[in-house]
Amino acid sequence: MSKQIGIPRRLLLVGAAAAFVLTWSSGFIIAKTGTATAPVLTVLVWRFLVVGAILLIGMAWFRIRSGPAVLPAWRDIRPHLTIGLFAQFGYILPIYLAVGAGVSAGTTALIDAVQPLVVATLVGPLLGLRVRALQWLGLVLGAIGVVLIVATDASASISPTPAYLLPLVSLASLVTATFLERRTTARLSVFATLVIHAGITLAVVTVLAALTGTLSPPAAPDFWVSTVLSAVFPALIAYALYWYLLRRLGITALNALLFLVAPTTAVAGALLFGDPFTPATLAGLLLGAGAIALVIAPGRGTRTPERKGGVFRETPPAQPENTASREKLRLN
């Protein structure tokens, strides 16, 4: 029997989950600072230009280290263009527009945190999966915790009413991208997924910025600091962890982690912008932690399947994941 060497898999997943919550939460905070320095499309164009430059450097490093890579076939790339439009463009643009219109980061995170309940409701009819009673309890507790945290913030907001619809558009877009990814048989590595998603999003926001005359960046240092931070943390690290954890924890467990995004955003807002940290915030943090424990607790006799992969493609190719028996392992 061989002895496992290195970081235990469970510890690695816990670390990845914590990093995901922190980096995903940073997107709401950075959006608040970025939209204060330039129009939304200007911010996003240069954000994705920085993302593209970093990914090109990564491709060059992989080439030097491992030699020429085998690129995915067009039939595998095509579905990920649609997934990328929903996951990056469809999710990020409405978030930035909402924050730019005056919706606070905490309120935006609250609306976004409804996603786990939406996903849990849809996994049955769309993927033929089962959410256990304990997981439903965790999802409900998480939702209560999120509402506690930002109820005061939402009631005090003075942003226009239509702006509150924008985070709902983001929520619907990311949910759509997540289900499309689960249903597709085109399995690419996380790196290739990021390249395709960032590429299609950069193309779309560049066209829109050109049409609206918002391509030119300001010279303000704050703009460039927020742009680089948004490229590295929410755009690259958070999305890489999202797709990584989706394939290892499953759709319900990953989305349950989003319950911790709202309280994390509230804490960051308190530290960075002086937003109030109330007993409701603390209660929400505790409820969110309990919710995650209930949702990701393994069911009896199940385990999460592992995969190994390369730079551009997961190997061996995964089987279609729209069958109930295979996805049940990911949920439990």
Sketch the domain layout of the chain as residue ranges: 9-130+159-249+300-331
Q: What whole-number distance in Å separates Cα of residue 237 and Cα of residue 214? A: 27
Buried b / exposed e along 48-87 (16+ C-beta atoms within 10 A): bbbbbebbeeebeebeeeeeebeebeeebbebbeebbbbb
Q: Check if the beta carbon of residue 43 is closer than 8 Å to that of residue 227.
A: yes
Nearest Cα residue to 205 out of 222, 220, 189, 227: 227
Angle formed by the axes of helices 74-84 and 165-183, to 10°?
Answer: 160
Q: Check if the beta carbon of residue 33 is closer than 8 Å to that of residue 222.
A: yes
pLDDT of 78 strictly over 80:
yes
In this prediction, what percent of the chain has a pLDDT beyond 70? Answer: 71
Q: In the prediction, which pLDDT does 321 show?
A: 43
Q: Tokens for 136? A: 């439903």
> What Cα–Cα distance (Å) separates residue 303 from each residue in 249, 291, 332?
10, 20, 7
Dump pLDDT digits (tens) for 114-158: 676 677 667 666 666 666 777 777 777 777 776 666 565 555 555
pLDDT of 305 strictly over 80:
no
pLDDT of 183 strictly over 70:
yes
Helices then strands, counting H and E runs in the chain, come out as 15, 2
Dump pLDDT digits (tens) for 227-262: 999 999 999 999 999 999 988 888 777 877 877 787
Q: What is the pTM of this model?
A: 0.77
Q: In the prediction, which pLDDT does 277 show?
A: 65
Q: Which residue has the higher pLDDT, 158 or 38?
A: 38
- Output phi, psi for 314, to 5 deg: -75, 135
Which contiguous run of DSSP H or E holds residue 315?
Answer: strand 314-315
Q: How far is CA 191 from the centre of its chain?
A: 15
Q: In the prediction, which pLDDT does 80 show?
A: 96
Dump pLDDT digits (tens) for 274-302: 766 667 667 766 776 677 677 666 555 44
pLDDT of 182 strictly over 50:
yes
Residues in Cβ contact with 15 at an 8 Å cutoff, skipping those fewer than 6 apart = 7
Nearest Cα residue to 295 out of 145, 83, 112, 105: 145
Q: Which residue has the higher pLDDT, 259 or 208?
A: 208
> What Cα–Cα distance (Å) separates residue 268 from each residue in 29, 74, 199?
8, 42, 30
- Output phi, psi for 168, to 5 deg: -65, -35
Lowest mean pLDDT among 74-83, 146-155, 165-174: 146-155
